[in-house]
Chains A and B, each alone.
Chain A
Amino acid sequence: MDLKTLTYLVVGATFALYIGIAIWARAGTTKEFYVAGTGVHPIANGMATAADWMSAASFISMAGLIAFLGYDASVYLMGWTGGYVLLALLLAPYLRKYGKFTVSEFIGERYYSKAARMVAVLCLVVASITYVIGQMKGVGVAFGRFLEVDYHTGIGVGMAIVFVYAVLGGMKGITYTQIAQYCVLIFAYTVPAVFIALNLTGMPIPQIGLGSSMADGSGMALLDKLDLIVTDLGFAAFTAQKWSTLNMVLLTLSLMIGTAGLPHVIMRFFTVPKVADARTSAGWALVFIAILYTTAPAVGAMARLNLMNTIQSGPVGSVDGNMVYADRPSWFKNWETTGLLKFEDKNGDGRVQYYNDKSEEFAAKAASFGWQGNEMVKVDRDIMVLANPEIAKLPNWVIALVAAGGLAAALSTAAGLLLAISTAISHDVIKGMIAPDISEKKELLASRLAMAGAIVVAGYLGMNPPGFAAQVVALAFGLAASSIFPALMMGIFNKNMDNIGAIVGMLTGLLSTLLYIFWFKGWFFIPGTAMAANTPGNWFMGISPEAFGAVGAMLNFTAAYVVSKFTPPPPEHIQHLVEDIRVPMGSGSASSH
């Protein structure tokens, strides 16, 4: 059977599964729609959280980032997992005890302020929409490469699938679909990794294989070999640190508290039956996430090794040490047609030279070999995971599986984000502000309409991505880290935090982070309006805009604390509320009252 038919079959089967689950898990009440009736088993919720969290970026882009950044990519590995420790210890159990439907609802009630609730809703919607755009693009790309359909058609099909199970099932439908999607995506990610690890080191477990010796008879450790190969070609060593220590610490911290403050993740913990379940469920979520996140470094390093070895097939500088372009493997040709891989024969020798021509030290050496510049003018990071099965010569069904896995990762995250957006609109804005007396049936209808609207907007933005789509990921984490996380944490751990302190803190964190990002990336990301070039030399103490969320959060904490010392403490019933959420007893289930 040819690859295309096989891919259609595998992807079609997974889609049929998602739709089947949606019909089985229809939501009949707002409680089912918002929090899946709080009846989700902690392990099941952990699996759904993992699928919710791991997006197209985790599945497709992360290993590619590691392949080219090496050690420095550790900030993403630690940042996107360490946040779950904060979530489990500082937020999830208490917000589950509070027992309402949304994050903004907690902020509004805890700080007895509609303004605070609105700030939270605004941060939530901006953060979620920026994220959804990326997922929709991921769906379009995956369809385009594997099913050879038009990018726009791909997004259209993706929208239709999400529409069916999200609008019909709400949180309940999304949760059970995400469990299925997790199984598909983790299988698709680990199978190629196992084969490649086995191939290179003779060890089938990628996490151990990465620390093993090469199976090529040299007895050299894989990572040492990789360091040697890349430094021989003028690149920085794979395991060496390239970024400043302060920037790495702050970026990791920003990603961690940003993760813990992202509403679509927090609201997953409202679905479990008990407070104790919220704690263990965060642990299970991290187990399922860690399976992929500890495999990714192996995939990244091994893919880089395979790529370098394919192109630089013999000793550096020898006449026949480089791959002959005419003899390039078929995966090379396939990716050339997509434009993600590009070759230019600068010295006209018909062979491919791939080296770091920015290294002055290496330039003289390269010139003596007769090399006239790096000829791999484009190597897109994203092809690392997608091309992996082909590079390792794995059977076609594995390639079809990777396509289904990429789609599962993108669709599951998109659905979680869309639910966060529609819940904010129907519960926080319509029920919370405009029409508090709305009946449950009408609220359920409103949330379905909001969901449908959100899907259309997300699809439109995916088809016509604004030029700044890549930039705004920093914004999503910056917003969550500098405004939502501190407000939630102080609401639980500081009984005396009052409304004015919290609002001043949120605005301080929010505005300082926005200012810093816009200063280097342009006001509202409009090109040409940046106040200073986005280079390490200009950054304040060498802190990149992506890493500033942690600083914004510290400013938030400080401002809120100082202001709360000079303003009246919260009323007694709020202090009782805080005391009450600190103990698990009497949790009951989430309700709207």
Chain B
Amino acid sequence: MSDQNSRQAYWKANLRLVALCLSIWFVVSYLFGIILVDQLNAISLGGYKLGFWFAQQGSIYVFVVLIFFYAWRMNKLDRQFNVHEE
């Protein structure tokens, strides 16, 4: 695989990963925290209503995990396509 092709494949893999992460980002905050909040509030998590928990706690925890997940996967992609830093 030529250098140019390899870089394009790397970029495509990156875009797929970004799309996956941003889908999760959208689901936990906009979908669970706002749009579906009433439906989820019918379920309880300890003393929390689930929709309320996603809006004020859960989405923030997922955001943190998402960034580290992305960083970990990208480090692997960097090596796989041999574009990592020295």
> Interface residues of A toward B: which range?
35 or more
Q: Enumerate chain A residues within 8 angstroms of B68, measured Cβ to Cβ.
A: 280, 283
For window 10-36 of B, CB contacts with A under 8 Å fall at 10-11, 14, 18, 21-22, 25, 29-30, 33-35
Excluding A211-B47, A252-B30, A253-B30, 9 further A-B contacts by CB distance (< 8 Å) are A71-B37, A71-B52, A85-B63, A221-B48, A282-B67, A283-B67, A283-B71, A297-B56, A582-B7
* B interface footprint on A494-522 (CB within 8 Å = 1, 0 otherwise): 00000000000000000000000000000
Q: Enumerate chain A residues within 8 angstroms of B48, measured Cβ to Cβ.
A: 210-211, 221, 223
In the bound complex, CA of A249 to CA of B34 (Å): 7
Least Cβ–Cβ distance between A546 and chain B, in angstroms? 16
CB<8 Å pairs between A and B, sample of 7: A78-B60, A210-B57, A224-B47, A239-B52, A241-B37, A276-B71, A283-B67
Least Cβ–Cβ distance between A88 and chain B, in angstroms? 5
Do A223 and B47 touch (CB < 8 A)? Answer: yes
Choose from A211, A275, A290 the contact partner of B45 (Cβ within 8 Å).
A211
User: Hey, which bits of chain A sit against chain B, CB under 8 A?
Assistant: 66, 71, 73-74, 77-78, 81-82, 84-85, 88-90, 93, 207-208, 210-213, 221-224, 239, 241, 245, 248-249, 252-253, 274-276, 279-280, 282-283, 286-287, 290, 293-294, 297, 579, 582-587
* A interface footprint on B42-86 (CB within 8 Å = 1, 0 otherwise): 000111110011011101110110111011001100100011110
In the bound complex, CA of A248 to CA of B38 (Å): 14
Do A245 and B71 touch (CB < 8 A)? Answer: no
A78-B33 contact given A275-B85, A579-B7, A583-B83, CB 8 Å threshold: yes
Which of B11, B21, B52, B67 neighbours the largest number of chain A CB atoms within 10 Å of its CB?
B67
Question: Which secondary structure characterizes the binding site on chain B?
Answer: helix
Do B56 and A89 touch (CB < 8 A)? Answer: no
In the bound complex, CA of A73 to CA of B33 (Å): 12
In the bound complex, CA of A207 to CA of B67 (Å): 21
The 5 closest A-B pairs by CB, nearest first: A221-B47, A74-B55, A283-B67, A279-B71, A211-B48
Q: Enumerate chain B residues within 8 angstroms of A283, measured Cβ to Cβ.
A: 64, 67-68, 71
Do A583 and B61 touch (CB < 8 A)? Answer: no
Task: Please give me the residue from chain B that is nearest to A276 by CB atom.
Answer: B75
Do B61 and A294 touch (CB < 8 A)? Answer: yes
Q: Enumerate chain A residues within 8 angstroms of B41, measured Cβ to Cβ.
A: 239
Which of A208, A212, A286 neighbours the largest number of chain B CB atoms within 10 Å of its CB?
A286
Do A584 and B49 touch (CB < 8 A)? Answer: no
Task: Please give me the residue from chain B that is nearest to A297 by CB atom.
Answer: B56
Do A286 and B63 touch (CB < 8 A)? Answer: yes
